[in-house]
Amino acid sequence: MPTNGNSCQIRSNGAEVRPLEAFELYRFFHRGDDETAALRGVSLRLLAGEFVALMGPSGSGKSTLLACLAGLDEPDGGHVEVMGQRMSRRSEAARAALRARHIGMLMQTGNLFDHLTVEANIKLQMSLSGQSNRQSIEQLLAVIGLTRQRQAYPSQLSGGEAARAGLALALSSNPQVLLADEPTAEVDATTEATILNHLMERCRAGVAVLVATHSEVIATHADRRISIQDGRITYV
Protein backbone atom coordinates (compact mmCIF):
# COMPACT_ATOMS: atom_id res chain seq x y z
CA MET A 1 0.00 0.00 0.00
CA PRO A 2 1.40 3.42 -0.80
CA THR A 3 2.34 5.58 2.12
CA ASN A 4 3.17 9.20 2.13
CA GLY A 5 5.82 9.15 4.87
CA ASN A 6 4.72 12.54 6.05
CA SER A 7 5.27 12.11 9.75
CA CYS A 8 7.52 15.14 10.05
CA GLN A 9 6.66 17.77 7.49
CA ILE A 10 8.67 20.87 8.24
CA ARG A 11 8.11 24.33 6.83
CA SER A 12 11.05 26.26 5.36
CA ASN A 13 11.15 28.36 8.55
CA GLY A 14 11.64 25.16 10.59
CA ALA A 15 8.12 25.05 12.07
CA GLU A 16 6.30 21.75 11.97
CA VAL A 17 3.18 21.70 9.78
CA ARG A 18 0.15 20.50 11.74
CA PRO A 19 -2.06 18.17 9.71
CA LEU A 20 -5.32 19.47 11.15
CA GLU A 21 -6.36 22.20 13.56
CA ALA A 22 -9.76 23.55 14.48
CA PHE A 23 -10.18 26.87 16.26
CA GLU A 24 -13.36 27.64 18.21
CA LEU A 25 -15.82 26.07 15.79
CA TYR A 26 -19.51 26.96 16.04
CA ARG A 27 -22.28 25.52 13.90
CA PHE A 28 -25.99 26.30 14.24
CA PHE A 29 -28.88 24.66 12.43
CA HIS A 30 -32.31 26.23 12.10
CA ARG A 31 -35.61 24.47 11.57
CA GLY A 32 -38.45 26.97 11.74
CA ASP A 33 -38.05 28.82 15.06
CA ASP A 34 -35.95 26.02 16.44
CA GLU A 35 -32.17 26.45 16.69
CA THR A 36 -29.72 23.61 17.32
CA ALA A 37 -26.22 24.55 18.41
CA ALA A 38 -24.45 21.50 16.99
CA LEU A 39 -20.95 22.85 17.73
CA ARG A 40 -20.25 25.33 20.52
CA GLY A 41 -16.63 26.40 20.47
CA VAL A 42 -14.80 23.22 19.46
CA SER A 43 -11.01 23.44 19.21
CA LEU A 44 -8.74 20.51 18.51
CA ARG A 45 -5.42 19.59 17.00
CA LEU A 46 -4.40 16.37 15.26
CA LEU A 47 -0.75 15.43 14.97
CA ALA A 48 0.85 13.33 12.25
CA GLY A 49 0.73 9.64 13.08
CA GLU A 50 -1.88 10.12 15.79
CA PHE A 51 -5.00 7.95 16.06
CA VAL A 52 -7.79 9.79 17.87
CA ALA A 53 -11.26 8.48 18.72
CA LEU A 54 -14.11 11.03 18.80
CA MET A 55 -16.82 9.71 21.09
CA GLY A 56 -20.16 11.04 22.20
CA PRO A 57 -23.86 10.19 22.24
CA SER A 58 -26.08 10.35 19.18
CA GLY A 59 -26.73 13.98 18.27
CA SER A 60 -23.69 15.30 20.18
CA GLY A 61 -22.12 16.84 17.05
CA LYS A 62 -19.62 14.25 15.78
CA SER A 63 -20.73 14.19 12.14
CA THR A 64 -21.15 17.97 12.10
CA LEU A 65 -17.60 18.37 13.40
CA LEU A 66 -16.11 15.96 10.85
CA ALA A 67 -18.00 17.66 8.01
CA CYS A 68 -16.61 21.05 9.11
CA LEU A 69 -13.08 19.63 9.45
CA ALA A 70 -13.29 18.18 5.93
CA GLY A 71 -14.66 21.42 4.48
CA LEU A 72 -17.85 19.68 3.40
CA ASP A 73 -19.70 22.09 5.69
CA GLU A 74 -18.81 25.61 6.75
CA PRO A 75 -18.71 26.49 10.46
CA ASP A 76 -20.70 29.61 11.45
CA GLY A 77 -17.80 30.65 13.67
CA GLY A 78 -14.15 29.70 13.99
CA HIS A 79 -12.01 28.12 11.34
CA VAL A 80 -10.15 24.97 10.28
CA GLU A 81 -6.58 24.66 9.03
CA VAL A 82 -5.40 21.65 7.02
CA MET A 83 -1.65 21.17 6.51
CA GLY A 84 -1.22 24.78 7.60
CA GLN A 85 -3.73 26.12 5.06
CA ARG A 86 -7.06 27.68 5.94
CA MET A 87 -10.00 25.50 4.92
CA SER A 88 -12.89 27.59 6.24
CA ARG A 89 -14.42 30.67 4.58
CA ARG A 90 -13.04 29.87 1.19
CA SER A 91 -14.90 29.07 -2.02
CA GLU A 92 -16.36 25.59 -2.35
CA ALA A 93 -13.89 24.88 -5.16
CA ALA A 94 -10.93 25.89 -2.99
CA ARG A 95 -12.18 23.71 -0.15
CA ALA A 96 -12.73 20.77 -2.50
CA ALA A 97 -9.21 21.13 -3.88
CA LEU A 98 -7.69 21.23 -0.39
CA ARG A 99 -9.77 18.24 0.64
CA ALA A 100 -8.82 16.23 -2.47
CA ARG A 101 -5.15 16.92 -1.85
CA HIS A 102 -4.91 16.24 1.86
CA ILE A 103 -8.00 14.59 3.35
CA GLY A 104 -9.52 11.13 3.10
CA MET A 105 -13.12 11.20 4.31
CA LEU A 106 -15.27 8.23 5.17
CA MET A 107 -18.78 9.52 5.70
CA GLN A 108 -21.47 8.00 7.92
CA THR A 109 -23.86 7.92 4.99
CA GLY A 110 -21.32 6.28 2.67
CA ASN A 111 -19.03 8.09 0.27
CA LEU A 112 -19.39 6.01 -2.91
CA PHE A 113 -21.22 7.30 -5.97
CA ASP A 114 -24.08 4.85 -6.62
CA HIS A 115 -23.82 5.02 -10.41
CA LEU A 116 -20.11 4.08 -10.48
CA THR A 117 -18.46 0.72 -9.80
CA VAL A 118 -16.07 0.35 -6.86
CA GLU A 119 -13.12 0.65 -9.23
CA ALA A 120 -14.56 3.68 -11.05
CA ASN A 121 -15.24 5.39 -7.72
CA ILE A 122 -11.61 4.90 -6.69
CA LYS A 123 -10.29 6.05 -10.07
CA LEU A 124 -12.39 9.20 -9.87
CA GLN A 125 -11.12 9.96 -6.36
CA MET A 126 -7.52 9.38 -7.46
CA SER A 127 -7.87 11.63 -10.47
CA LEU A 128 -9.40 14.39 -8.31
CA SER A 129 -6.37 14.24 -6.05
CA GLY A 130 -3.98 14.21 -8.99
CA GLN A 131 -3.13 10.48 -8.81
CA SER A 132 -3.96 7.93 -11.51
CA ASN A 133 -1.64 5.05 -10.74
CA ARG A 134 -3.40 1.88 -11.93
CA GLN A 135 -1.09 -0.36 -9.95
CA SER A 136 -2.03 1.36 -6.75
CA ILE A 137 -5.74 0.78 -7.44
CA GLU A 138 -5.03 -2.92 -7.77
CA GLN A 139 -2.91 -2.92 -4.63
CA LEU A 140 -5.54 -1.02 -2.70
CA LEU A 141 -8.33 -3.39 -3.76
CA ALA A 142 -6.20 -6.43 -2.93
CA VAL A 143 -5.13 -5.15 0.48
CA ILE A 144 -8.69 -4.26 1.42
CA GLY A 145 -9.98 -7.57 0.05
CA LEU A 146 -12.22 -6.21 -2.70
CA THR A 147 -10.54 -7.45 -5.87
CA ARG A 148 -13.55 -9.63 -6.74
CA GLN A 149 -15.96 -6.73 -6.17
CA ARG A 150 -14.08 -4.20 -8.28
CA GLN A 151 -16.79 -4.11 -10.96
CA ALA A 152 -19.67 -4.14 -8.47
CA TYR A 153 -21.93 -1.13 -7.92
CA PRO A 154 -22.40 0.03 -4.32
CA SER A 155 -25.96 -1.40 -4.22
CA GLN A 156 -24.52 -4.85 -5.00
CA LEU A 157 -22.18 -4.89 -1.98
CA SER A 158 -22.86 -6.35 1.45
CA GLY A 159 -22.72 -3.98 4.42
CA GLY A 160 -19.18 -5.06 5.31
CA GLU A 161 -17.99 -4.82 1.70
CA ALA A 162 -19.54 -1.35 1.40
CA ALA A 163 -17.74 -0.28 4.59
CA ARG A 164 -14.40 -1.56 3.22
CA ALA A 165 -15.06 0.03 -0.18
CA GLY A 166 -15.75 3.35 1.54
CA LEU A 167 -12.45 3.03 3.38
CA ALA A 168 -10.60 2.11 0.17
CA LEU A 169 -12.00 5.26 -1.39
CA ALA A 170 -10.96 7.41 1.57
CA LEU A 171 -7.44 5.94 1.43
CA SER A 172 -7.11 6.09 -2.34
CA SER A 173 -5.89 9.68 -2.48
CA ASN A 174 -3.09 8.79 -0.08
CA PRO A 175 -4.23 11.49 2.37
CA GLN A 176 -2.29 13.05 5.22
CA VAL A 177 -5.48 13.35 7.26
CA LEU A 178 -8.09 10.60 7.48
CA LEU A 179 -11.52 11.41 8.90
CA ALA A 180 -13.83 8.45 9.40
CA ASP A 181 -17.40 8.81 10.60
CA GLU A 182 -18.47 5.58 12.30
CA PRO A 183 -16.55 3.36 9.88
CA THR A 184 -17.57 0.16 11.69
CA ALA A 185 -21.15 1.01 12.66
CA GLU A 186 -22.78 -1.78 10.67
CA VAL A 187 -20.13 -4.46 10.31
CA ASP A 188 -19.23 -7.73 12.05
CA ALA A 189 -16.27 -8.13 14.39
CA THR A 190 -13.99 -9.50 11.64
CA THR A 191 -14.65 -6.57 9.30
CA GLU A 192 -14.23 -4.17 12.23
CA ALA A 193 -10.80 -5.68 12.93
CA THR A 194 -9.86 -5.37 9.23
CA ILE A 195 -10.90 -1.72 9.13
CA LEU A 196 -9.12 -1.00 12.42
CA ASN A 197 -5.93 -2.58 11.09
CA HIS A 198 -6.02 -0.39 7.98
CA LEU A 199 -6.57 2.73 10.06
CA MET A 200 -3.68 1.84 12.38
CA GLU A 201 -1.42 1.00 9.45
CA ARG A 202 -2.05 4.45 7.98
CA CYS A 203 -1.30 5.97 11.36
CA ARG A 204 2.04 4.20 11.53
CA ALA A 205 2.82 5.67 8.11
CA GLY A 206 2.34 9.15 9.60
CA VAL A 207 -1.30 9.87 8.74
CA ALA A 208 -3.38 11.78 11.30
CA VAL A 209 -6.55 9.74 11.88
CA LEU A 210 -9.74 10.94 13.57
CA VAL A 211 -12.54 8.40 13.95
CA ALA A 212 -16.02 9.21 15.21
CA THR A 213 -17.18 6.00 16.82
CA HIS A 214 -19.35 4.32 19.40
CA SER A 215 -17.03 1.28 19.31
CA GLU A 216 -15.02 0.50 22.43
CA VAL A 217 -12.81 -1.78 20.30
CA ILE A 218 -11.75 1.17 18.14
CA ALA A 219 -11.46 3.49 21.13
CA THR A 220 -9.17 1.16 23.09
CA HIS A 221 -6.73 1.15 20.15
CA ALA A 222 -6.70 4.94 19.85
CA ASP A 223 -3.79 7.03 21.14
CA ARG A 224 -6.28 9.50 22.57
CA ARG A 225 -10.02 9.96 23.05
CA ILE A 226 -11.94 13.16 22.57
CA SER A 227 -15.42 13.27 24.08
CA ILE A 228 -18.10 15.51 22.69
CA GLN A 229 -21.37 16.34 24.42
CA ASP A 230 -23.95 18.88 23.21
CA GLY A 231 -21.46 20.34 20.76
CA ARG A 232 -18.72 20.86 23.33
CA ILE A 233 -15.57 18.89 23.84
CA THR A 234 -15.65 17.71 27.41
CA TYR A 235 -12.32 15.92 27.69
CA VAL A 236 -9.21 15.88 25.49
Ligand X SMILES: Nc1ncnc2c1ncn2[C@@H]1O[C@H](COP(=O)(O)OP(=O)(O)OP(=O)(O)O)[C@@H](O)[C@H]1O
Burial 6-37 (b: 16+ CB within 10 A, else e): bbebeeeeeeebbbbbbbebbbeeeeeeeeee
Q: Are 204 and 6 in contact (CB under 8 A)?
A: no
Does residue 227 touch ligand X according to CB under 6 A?
no
Listed in sequence order, the residues at least 6 apart from 100 whose beta carbon sits closer than 8 Å to its beta carbon are 125, 128, 129, 130, 173
- Report how many residues bind ligand X under the rule CB under 6 A: 13
Closer to ligand X by CB, 4 or 227: give it: 227
When binding is defined by CB under 6 A, the residue of 58, 91, 135, 190 that contacts ligand X is: 58
Please report whether residue 64 would count as binding Mg ion according to CB under 5 A. Answer: no
Q: Which does residue 58 bind out of ligand X, Mg ion, none, counting CB within 5 to 8 angstroms by kind?
A: ligand X
Q: Does 148 bind ligand X (CB under 6 A)?
A: no
CA 219 to CA 19: how far, in whole Å? 21
By CB under 6 A, residue 234 contacts ligand X: no
Strand partners, 54: 212, 226
Give bridge partners of residue 79 from the DSSP assignment: 23
Is 213 a residue that touches Mg ion (CB under 5 A)? Answer: no
> Segment 83-112, which members bind ligand X (CB under 6 A)?
108
Of 52-60, 95-103, 111-119, 187-195: span binding ligand X (CB under 6 A): 52-60
202 binds, among ligand X, Mg ion, none (CB under 5 to 8 A by kind): none
Q: Taking CB under 6 A as the rule, does residue 62 contact ligand X?
A: yes
Starting at the edge strand found earlier in the chain, the sheet holding 103-106 runs 103-106, 177-181, 208-212, 51-55, 224-229, 232-235
Task: Please state the closest distance from residue 63 (CB atom) to Mg ion, in A.
Answer: 3
Which of 62/95 has CB closer to ligand X? 62
Question: From CA 118, how far away is CA 166, in angstroms rounded?
Answer: 9
Residue 61 contact among Mg ion, ligand X, none, beta carbon within 5 to 8 Å by kind = ligand X
* Distance separating alpha carbons of residues 231 and 120, to the nearest angstrom: 37
In terms of CB distance, is 62 or 198 closer to Mg ion?
Answer: 62
For residues 38 and 61, the answer to whether their CB atoms sit within 8 Å is yes
Residue numbers at the binding site for ligand X (CB under 6 A): 29, 31, 36, 38, 56, 58-64, 108
What residues make contact with Mg ion under the rule CB under 5 A?
A: 62-63, 108
